[in-house]
Amino acid sequence: MPDMPEPRFKVDLLIRVFGMDAKGRPFSQNARVLNISDHGARLSGLENQLTPGDIIGLHCDDKKARCKVIWVADAGPPENIEVGVKIVEGQPCPWQKEMGMRRSTRTPPMSRTAPAAKDKRKFPRLRIPFPIEIRDELSVGLQMNTKTADIAGSGCYIETMVPLPVRRALNIAFWLNSERVHTTAIVRTCDGGVGMGIEFTGLDEATQEQLQEQIESLAAESAPFKKAHGAF
């Protein structure tokens, strides 16, 4: 039996959209959300041209998420450019509160024809700020001490306005419990003006599993604090 399409609801939300446009220029602007689902949305009022496959960042209330552009349409003034986006796997749903409100009030949903994508990752990524050190093998002396936007035993995502290109080889270092671990890595995705996805290529399966356990433990420890302080 085919998967049932997920419900989609009409809304009118003001959000912040940022990233790189089709000409490689960084942008940041307000836009409107016309409808939402658990995994996607329709945006209106964009002033910069985008292309399907682009990754953009969305800031809705106190939540941020990366989304992939699925389709683009020039609606003309005042709507300008409209796009359909899908939340990148592992990212939080920025409009989860609005979805919950419409479900609780039994608001009739719109129909959706495409089913939600399934997560094919070996390990689930968790959105925690995990300290990590990045060295670029091609740039002598280039070192980045930062924290992840999300991470799993097999890789992570780093938010940066100037991401490294796809297939760039890296050296990664981080603390696994009380042991400092070094591994080779490679840039798998480069989202201009947003960030980059990195795969850990030098970790054996046992080390990946240990890292995943530590990540899940840190996420569990921080959950009560986030709930108590109203964080996402």
Question: Which tens digits make up the pLDDT trace of 53-112?
Answer: 899 999 988 889 999 998 888 766 656 788 989 999 889 999 988 888 888 888 887 754
pLDDT tens column, 106-121? 888 775 444 444 444 5
pLDDT at 5: 63
pLDDT at 86: 92
pLDDT tens column, 184-211? 999 998 888 888 999 999 999 999 999 9
Q: Is pLDDT above 90 for 30? A: yes
pLDDT at 199: 94
Give the predicted TM-score (pTM) of the model: 0.60
pLDDT at 231: 37
- Share the mean pLDDT of the chain: 83
Q: Is pLDDT above 50 for 229? A: no
Q: Which domains does the chain have, with CATH numbers?
A: 9-104 (2.40.10.220), 131-228 (2.40.10.220)
pLDDT at 142: 75
pLDDT at 25: 87
Higher pLDDT, 142 or 17: 17
**Which residue reads 């910069």 in tokens?**
48
pLDDT at 43: 92
